[in-house]
Amino acid sequence: MKKPNKKVDKIRMIAIIIVSLFVIATGILFSLKSFTNGNIAGGILGIIIAAIIVIFAIVVFRRGNRDLKKGFPLQDERSKRVLEKASSKAFYVSLYLLLAIGFLSDDIINFRDVSQATSVSVGGMALLFAIFWAYYNRKEL
């Protein structure tokens, strides 16, 4: 097993923090804009999404920081395998999700415009990845 590169892992942790902060700031700005436009539901949704990302970022940071202090790498062979497996399954299922959205968008699902359909599909893809990652992380590979 290779010795963990602490410098690279610390840079990864800092990158995770920076990206999380940008996403959280975007969610908060979206909420503020929604509230000023009178869209209460959109503002609340933005706050909920930002809160979920904050919780997820705190968990990832704590776990990664704890592992770094113990001398473990951020990613080992198993975590890479789980990530690869979850990514590939989420990709394949996302293709069917996109097809379903395309077929159902005229009759059953009425989207305001293409950007709304795109947002729903990207959110669905992220949700699928999270579900597959949780499944494969609990399953022995």
Question: Which residue has better confidence, 111 or 133?
Answer: 133
Q: Residue 124 contacts by C-beta under 8 Å, 6 or more apart in sequence?
A: 94, 97, 101
Do residues 81 and 45 share a domain?
A: no
- Number of domain units in the chain: 2
Q: Which of the 8 DSSP states describes residue 4?
A: P
Tell me the pLDDT band of 2, cut-offs 50, 70 and 90: low
Contact criterion met (CB below 8 Å) for 136 and 86: yes
Contact criterion met (CB below 8 Å) for 93 and 128: yes
Do residues 69 and 109 share a domain?
A: no
Helices marked H in 1-141? 6-36, 40-70, 77-104, 114-138
pLDDT confidence of residue 20: 81
Do residues 49 and 111 share a domain?
A: no
Do residues 69 and 3 share a domain?
A: yes
Contact criterion met (CB below 8 Å) for 57 and 16: yes
Tell me the pLDDT band of 90, cut-offs 50, 70 and 90: very high
Tell me the pLDDT band of 5, cut-offs 50, 70 and 90: low
Do residues 30 and 12 share a domain?
A: yes
Segments forming the whole domain that contains residue 98 = 76-141
pLDDT confidence of residue 85: 92
What the block records as the tokens of 9 is 């892992």
Which residue bears the tokens 């497996």? Answer: 85
pTM: 0.62
Do residues 128 and 66 share a domain?
A: no
Do residues 80 and 13 share a domain?
A: no
Q: Which of the 8 DSSP states describes residue 135?
A: H
Q: Which of 52, 74, 96 is the last residue of a domain?
A: 74
pLDDT confidence of residue 141: 60
Chain Cα centroid distance, residue 34 = 22
Lowest mean pLDDT segment, chosen from 14-28, 35-49, 105-119, 121-135: 105-119
Q: Which of 74, 89, 110 is the last residue of a domain?
A: 74
| pLDDT tens digit sequence for 11-69 | 877 888 888 888 888 878 888 888 888 878 777 877 887 787 788 778 777 877 787 77
Do residues 99 and 118 share a domain?
A: yes
